Amino acid sequence: MAKDSYIEAVGRRKTARARTRIVSANKTKITILQNVDGKMIKKKFEDYFPTEYLRDLVLDVFKTGDDAPDLKFEVTSIIKGGGISAQAQALRHGIARALVKYDDKLRTYLKKRGFLKRDARSVERKKFGLKKARRAPQWSKR
């Protein structure tokens, strides 16, 4: 990868999508760009994802095992839609896709851990005559 060049990929989960760019760096740094009233605001990764669980969910992509190389990248992502958990999963998906574009040898490592699979589960739509997607109104005998 040339100096000042980046690799871009899109990660998705439910209605959340994360447009992610990675650049080689000395240490892993993640920055989130958020659109607020038409202006892009930079947020630190730790501020955007408040819980340790969500941060670990995203950083699992960079965790190195015995068979994995040491991965250090500067990540910038624009995240839209969905809830905070779906956004974290979309970011992880986007980073994993970008890493595969960076080095195709990482594909087996990431695929084995399920990071490249787009989790397509989404909320089922509500049907008319029902209270929710499948919840029927309470039945009364009389």
Domain ranges of the chain: 7-112
Positive or negative torsion for Cα 13, 16, 21, 27: negative
- Is 91 in contact with 20 (CB distance < 8 Å)? yes
pTM above 0.85, yes or no: yes
Q: What percent of the chain has pLDDT over 70?
A: 92
| Distances 16 to 91, 123, 129, 139 between C-alpha atoms, Å | 9, 12, 29, 37
Residue 3 has pLDDT above 80, yes or no: no
pLDDT value, residue 68: 61
pLDDT tens readout for residues 8-65: 999 999 999 999 999 988 888 999 998 888 899 999 999 999 999 999 999 998 886 6
Q: Which position has the higher pLDDT, 108 or 128?
A: 128
Cα–Cα separations (whole angstroms), residue 63 to 10, 33, 90, 115, 138: 20, 23, 17, 12, 49
**Structure-token match 């851990």, residue found:** 113
Q: Is the pLDDT reported for residue 70 higher than 90? A: no
Is-contact 89 57, C-beta < 8 A?
Answer: yes
Distance CA(50)–CA(119), nearest Å, equals 23
Class of domain 7-112: alpha beta
